Amino acid sequence: MDLFKKMPLPYKVYQMNRSLAGLTCVISMLALSGCGSNKWLDIDKEPVKGERISVLDQTSITRVKSAGPVNLSLAKPNAAWAQAGGNAAHAMGHLALSSKPEKAWKRDIGSDASTYLPIITGPVAADGVVYAMDTQGDISAITLADGKKIWSASLHGKSGREDTVGGGLAYEGGFIYATSPYAKLICLNAKTGEEVWTKNLYSPARVSPTVHDGRVFVLTISNELQVFNAQDGEMTWTHSGIVENAEVLGGASPAVKDGVAIVAYSSGEIFALKAENGQELWSEGLVPHFHTDSISALAHIRARPVIADNTVYAISQSGKATAINLSSGEQIWQKSIGGLHTPAIDANYLFMITADDELACLNRKTGEAIWIEPIGAHLKPRDEVILWSGPVLAGEHIVVTGSNGEILFFSPDGELTHTLQDKAGIPVSPIVIDESLITINHRAELTVYR
């Protein structure tokens, strides 16, 4: 078996050289399970005998079933999913959507993903238009109503290269802001796709920008946060974290609310900064106290931080989740539970996909588990490794997508109620706008369900 090809793309680890001019692939997850035969590294180790136990069962989080019903807030309509995470705070709540949506249309927007050129950022949508970027750096504007292409623009022409890993989009005030792995921040007219301005970054960006209150926040692979004026592109301030030699592919777009920017670096550092000038307000670290495998030794925070009700929620892939008071920096709770994806917040609940491919519902006030369910329990055992993305809360359901092409709909109590199937894998979380669920698959096809 070619383990490298079977591996979920975000688990591939990249090493930055000290000049930070680019990335060189050095390791792919040394062992997906931590034991077994590693013939691809010419290591034939006898598997460890005994029952495998979820990492969650070895921590303060215990596998439980809900003792009572979990009730989401009343679903609300939303006219925009303008940036990664939906809005600058990454807190969209429970959104309006049919409880059993059906496919309305599908549109090819460009070049397919591959093992070495994955799609790691999703589309954005506003004013009835969906904007998405393929693996060649081509951006397409598509009508939400019927899937017709309005315009397309290319980012790779500015570098002479035609391959891209990462980058992303954000919409604000009639403009599209695009980051690229060519170390560029580009502003486009959202109606025409014409370039408004372009600015150089200190190093490539593999995550989407965050736009709020006239500022564009860009996190680069060298753990540098650069902040630009949204109107003319002039850089206003910067902030830096500790440079890491190895990290999980992808990263966390900053969260911004109430004049505070929360940036999570691949070093596991979290900083609260004044959005106006970058002044440090407080900091926190999500560094694991123990390592269960080679990947958990990395402190990388790939899940976007969430700001809700004066609380910051952050999750590290290395096994730490925390809630912090936004104003004071005081820790409210911390649990030994990790994940790669942004949690969804609604009412008194935090929903997340754990590092063990489980869907978990936590009490967001205390961090205690309300229920935890394995996501792929309905599937037959197979050789394929499935990467799950999400969750998104919509239509009285918790929506999760998979690299096997499945879209799963769970009830608020964690019961899988129904599924949809795409013919290609869905590598990133879906978005919801105007009662429409939108996905992008490995073939760079946008699909709308409503």
- The per-residue pLDDT for 176 is 98
Write the pLDDT tens digit of every residue in 293-345: 545 555 568 899 999 999 999 999 878 999 999 999 999 999 999 999 999 99
Cα dihedral 79→82→87→90 (10° resolution)? 110
- Give dist(CA 167, CA 311) in Å, integer: 28
- Give dist(CA 155, CA 185) in Å, integer: 10
- 140 closest CA partner among 178, 83, 85: 178
- 331 closest CA partner among 272, 384, 288, 380: 272
Give the model's confidence band at 167: pLDDT under 50 very low, under 70 low, under 90 confident, else very high. Answer: confident
Question: Quick check: 439 pLDDT over 50?
Answer: yes
- The per-residue pLDDT for 64 is 60
Give the model's confidence band at 285: pLDDT under 50 very low, under 70 low, under 90 confident, else very high. Answer: confident
184 or 115, greater pLDDT: 184
Whole-number mean pLDDT of the chain? Answer: 83
- The per-residue pLDDT for 12 is 40
List the structure tokens of 243: 């440079």
Give the model's confidence band at 111: pLDDT under 50 very low, under 70 low, under 90 confident, else very high. Answer: confident
Question: Quick check: 14 pLDDT over 80?
Answer: no
Task: Indicate the SS3 state at residue 116.
Answer: coil
- Give dist(CA 300, CA 285) in Å, integer: 11
Question: Mean of the pLDDT values across residues 266-291?
Answer: 87
- Count of H-run helices and E-run strands, the chain: 1, 36
Q: Report the CATH architecture of 3-449.
A: 7 Propeller (2.130)
Long-range contacts: 407-414, Cβ < 8 Å, 24+?
407/437, 407/439, 407/449, 408/375, 409/100, 410/359, 410/373, 412/69, 412/70, 412/71, 412/72, 412/349, 412/361, 413/66, 413/69, 413/70, 413/371, 414/66, 414/70, 414/359, 414/361, 414/371, 414/372, 414/373
Question: Quick check: 275 pLDDT over 80?
Answer: yes
Give strand pairing partners of 199.
185
Consecutive H or E run containing 408:
strand 406-410
* Percentage with pLDDT > 70 across the chain: 77
- Give dist(CA 166, CA 81) in Å, integer: 19
- The per-residue pLDDT for 59 is 38
Report CA-CA distances (Å) from 376 to 353, 390, 419. Answer: 12, 14, 12
Question: Mean of the pLDDT values across residues 126-139?
Answer: 92
Dihedrals phi, psi of 3, to nearest 5 degrees: -65, -35
Dihedrals phi, psi of 300, to nearest 5 degrees: -50, 135
Q: How does 86-105 read in b/e, with b if 16+ C-beta sit within 10 Å?
A: bbbbbbbbbbbbeeebeebb
- The per-residue pLDDT for 58 is 33
Question: Mean of the pLDDT values across residues 140-152?
Answer: 97
Domain ranges of the chain: 3-449
Letter for the amino acid at 334? Answer: Q
- The per-residue pLDDT for 91 is 98
Centroid of chain to Cα 195? 27
- The per-residue pLDDT for 54 is 44
List the structure tokens of 212: 């709020």
Write the pLDDT tens digit of every residue in 404-422: 999 999 999 999 999 999 9
User: Lowest-confidence range among 94-103, 164-173, 191-200, 418-427?
Assistant: 164-173
- The per-residue pLDDT for 395 is 97
- The per-residue pLDDT for 28 is 36
Letter for the amino acid at 6? Answer: K
- The per-residue pLDDT for 303 is 93
Question: Quick check: 88 pLDDT over 70?
Answer: yes
For 349: left if phi > 0, alpha if psi spans -120 to 50, otherwise beta; the answer is beta
Question: Mean of the pLDDT values across residues 393-413?
Answer: 97
Task: Give one DSSP letter per residue of 164-213, joined into a string.
Answer: ----EEEEETTEEEEEETTTEEEEEETTT--EEEEEE-SS---S--EEET
239 or 120, greater pLDDT: 239
Question: Please, are residues 253 and 247 in contact by the beta-carbon 8 Å criterion?
Answer: no
- The per-residue pLDDT for 157 is 54
**Cβ of 151: how many Cβ atoms within 10 Å?**
17
- The per-residue pLDDT for 33 is 35
Write the pLDDT tens digit of every residue in 15-69: 333 333 333 333 333 333 334 333 322 333 344 444 444 444 333 444 566 667 8
Give strand pairing partners of 168.
179
Cα dihedral 3→45→318→365 (10° resolution)? 100
Letter for the amino acid at 157? Answer: G
Consecutive H or E run containing 4:
helix 3-6
- The per-residue pLDDT for 375 is 95
261 or 376, greater pLDDT: 261
List the structure tokens of 313: 């929620």
* Percentage with pLDDT > 90 across the chain: 65
Write the pLDDT tens digit of every residue in 349-378: 999 999 999 999 999 999 999 999 999 888
Question: Mean of the pLDDT values across residues 196-205?
Answer: 94
